C-alpha cells in the first residue's frame, strides 16, 4: 500500500501520524505537459482516437489553469483543422456521407482520381473533440464551414432518433446522440439534428430503476445517464438546476433518477457506474456531472469522494481508475473535472453538460 492509500487522506486531517495529502496541481501540470509533447508508447493502440487524446491533454491544461504553456495555439488550431474533411467536389449533402473530423491521420484516405470519397472515416466523437479543443484555445468556430458538416450529420440520425457515429454504420446509442447535441450546441446551429426525435429516443432509454441505458431496455449505466441528461440540457428540454424548481413538471422521472444516482457512491467514497461494480475515478464525473446539471451536487459526500480521488493520485502525476494502479490519461482527465466540481483551489470550473471548462464553453 502506498502512502496515497492511507484511509485518512483528507487534506484537512490534523492527525500528526497521517501525511497530509492534497491534490498536487504542479505535479499534474508536469505530467500533462509531458503528454502534450509525447504520448507514451502504450497509447499507440489508440492512434485512431488521436484527436480525443489531444482533447484530454488540452482540456486538462485548461482545468489546471495552465493554457499559457501552449505557446503555439495557432499551430495547434491548424493541426486540429487539418482533420476536417473537405471534399474536393461540392457534394450532395444527402449522399449519406458525413463531413466531420477524422480521429487520426491514419484514418484519412484521399479521394480517388475522380474525386470520389471511397473511405470516409469522419466520426461524431472526433468532431466533438475537435470542436472542444478549438473552443478551449479560443478559435472562432464561426470560421468553420459548418453548413456541410451539419447538413450531412443528419445522415447519421436514425428513424428512432438515435445516431450512428460514422456514415458506414456502427453502434447507435446515447453516446452519439450526446456528441451530435454537443456539436450543434458548440456551433450554435441545430440544423444538424431533429431534436424532437432525439428527445424521444432519450426518454425511451430511462429504465425502470431511474437510470438510463445506452439503448432502450438496456441496464442503467453512469455514462449513458450522463449522455441522456447532458443532451436534454444542451437541447434545452430540461432547465438548469431542475431540482430547485418543480421537478414533477419534467419530461423525465427525476425522483427515480435521483434515487438511482445517489446510490452510486460507495462506502469507500468513490462512485461506481452501476450496481455491484467497484468505485472508479471516471464516474466521479459521469455521475457527479449529472447531479451538477440537476442542481443536486450536495447529495455527494464531498469529503469521502475527495479521499477516494486522492487514493488514485499517482506519485509522479496523473490519476488511476482504481486506488494504487498506474495512471492513464482518460481517468486523469475525469479526476480533474471531479476536483473542479469539488471546488479544488486553483482549478477552473466545469461546464457539466459540455465536459470542458466554463471559460471555454462561454468563449471568454
Ligand atoms: Zn473508469
DSSP 36-66: HH---GGGGGGGGGHHHHHHHHHHHHHHTT-
Q: Which of 228, 212, 133, 216 lies closest to 177, judged by CA? A: 228
Three-state secondary-structure class, residue 283: helix
Q: What is the pLDDT of residue 86?
A: 83
C-alpha 135 to ligand 1 mean position (Å): 25
Give me ligand 1 centre to Cα 152, in Å: 32
How far, in Å, CA of 11 to CA of 29, rounded? Answer: 20
* Alpha carbon of 221 to ligand 1 centroid (Å): 12
Helix/strand/coil percentages in the chain, nearest 5: 50, 5, 45
Cell numbers for 56, please give them. Answer: 484530454
- What is the number of alpha carbons within 13 Å of residue 34 lying toward its C-beta? 13
Alpha helices (H) in 263-326, listed in sequence order: 283-294, 302-311
Q: How far is the CA of 37 from the centre of ligand 1 (A)?
A: 24
- Note whether 357 and 348 are within 8 A (CB): yes
Which three three-digit cell numbers place residue 324?
A: 494504487
Residues 282 and 321: beta-carbon distance below 8 Å: yes
Hunting for cell 449522399 — which residue is that?
Answer: 95
Q: Give me ligand 1 centre to Cα 264, in Å.
A: 14
Q: How far is the CA of 265 from the centre of ligand 1 (A)?
A: 14
How many Å lie between the centroid of ligand 1 and the Cα of residue 333?
11
pLDDT given for residue 15 in this prediction? 41
Rounded distance from Cα 266 to ligand 1 centre (Å): 15
Please, what is the Cα angle at 270 between 358 and 44, to 5 degrees? 70
- Asked whether 179 and 125 are in contact (CB, 8 A), the reply is yes
Q: Separation of 58 CA from ligand 1 center, angstroms?
A: 20
pLDDT at residue number 120: 85
The DSSP element (H or E) to which 248 belongs, if any, is none
Q: What is the radius of gyration, based on Cα positions, of the chain?
A: 21
The model's pTM is 0.92
pLDDT number for residue 364? 65
268 burial class (0-12, 13-18, 19+ CB within 10 angstroms)? middle
What pLDDT, on the 0 to 100 scale, is given for residue 128? 98
What is the rounded distance in angstroms from the CA atom of residue 245 to the CA atom of residue 163? 31
Going from the Cα of 75 to the center of ligand 1, the distance in angstroms, rounded, reads 32
Grid cell, residue 249, equals 413538471
Residues of the chain with pLDDT under 70: 1-20, 246-249, 364
For residues 209 and 197, what is the distance between their CA atoms, to the nearest angstrom?
23
Ligand 1 centre from 337 Cα, in Å? 13
Put residue 169 in one of left, alpha, beta given phi > 0 → left and psi -120 to 50 → alpha: left
CA 240 – CA 255 distance, rounded (Å): 16
Are the beta carbons of 225 and 290 closer than 8 angstroms?
Answer: yes
Q: Can you tell me the distance from the alpha carbon of 214 to that of 37, in angstroms, rounded to the nearest whole number? A: 35
Which of 116, 107, 110 lies closest to 50 in space, CA to CA? 107
- Ligand 1 centroid to Cα of residue 7, in Å, is 21
Provide CB contacts within 8 A for 27, sequence distance 6+: 316, 317
Amino acid at each position: 500500500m502506498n502512502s496515497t492509500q492511507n484511509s485518512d487522506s483528507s487534506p484537512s486531517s490534523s492527525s500528526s501520524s497521517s501525511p497530509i495529502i492534497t491534490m498536487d496541481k504542479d505535479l499534474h501540470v508536469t505530467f500533462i505537459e509531458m503528454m502534450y509533447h509525447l504520448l507514451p508508447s502504450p497509447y499507440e493502440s489508440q492512434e485512431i482516437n488521436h484527436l480525443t487524446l489531444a482533447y484530454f491533454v488540452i482540456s486538462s491544461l485548461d482545468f489546471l489553469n495552465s493554457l499559457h504553456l501552449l505557446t503555439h495555439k495557432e499551430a495547434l488550431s491548424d493541426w486540429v483543422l487539418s482533420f476536417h474533411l473537405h471534399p474536393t467536389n461540392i457534394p450532395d449533402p444527402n449522399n449519406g456521407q458525413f463531413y466531420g473530423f477524422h480521429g487520426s491521420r491514419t484514418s484519412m484516405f484521399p479521394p480517388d482520381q475522380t474525386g470520389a470519397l471511397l473511405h470516409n472515416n469522419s466520426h461524431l466523437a472526433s468532431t466533438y473533440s475537435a470542436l472542444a479543443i478549438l473552443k478551449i484555445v479560443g478559435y472562432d468556430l464561426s470560421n468553420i464551414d459548418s453548413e456541410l458538416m451539419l447538413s450531412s450529420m443528419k445522415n447519421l440520425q436514425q428513424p428512432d432518433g438515435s445516431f450512428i457515429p460514422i456514415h458506414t454504420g456502427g453502434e447507435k446509442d446515447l453516446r452519439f446522440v450526446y456528441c451530435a447535441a454537443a456539436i450543434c450546441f458548440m456551433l450554435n446551429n441545430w440544423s444538424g439534428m431533429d431534436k424532437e426525435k432525439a428527445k424521444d429516443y432519450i426518454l425511451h432509454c430511462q429504465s425502470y430503476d431511474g437510470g438510463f441505458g445506452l439503448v432502450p431496455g438496456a441496464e442503467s449505466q453512469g455514462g449513458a445517464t450522463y449522455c441522456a441528461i447532458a443532451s436534454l440540457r444542451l437541447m434545452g428540454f430540461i432547465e438548469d438546476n431542475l431540482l430547485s424548481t418543480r421537478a414533477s413538471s419534467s419530461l423525465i422521472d427525476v425522483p427515480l433518477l435521483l434515487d438511482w444516482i445517489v446510490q452510486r457512491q460507495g462506502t469507500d467514497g468513490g462512485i461506481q457506474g452501476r450496481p455491484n461494480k467497484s468505485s472508479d475515478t471516471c464516474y466521479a464525473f459521469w455521475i457527479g456531472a449529472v447531479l451538477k446539471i440537476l442542481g443536486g451536487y450536495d447529495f455527494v459526500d464531498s469529503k469521502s469522494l475527495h479521499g477516494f480521488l486522492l487514493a488514485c493520485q499517482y506519485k509522479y502525476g496523473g490519476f488511476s481508475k482504481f486506488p494504487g494502479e498506474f495512471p492513464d490519461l482518460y481517468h486523469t482527465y475525469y479526476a480533474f473535472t471531479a476536483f473542479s466540481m469539488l471546488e479544488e483551489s486553483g482549478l477552473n470550473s466545469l461546464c457539466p453538460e459540455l465536459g470542458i471548462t466554463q471559460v471555454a464553453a462561454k468563449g471568454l
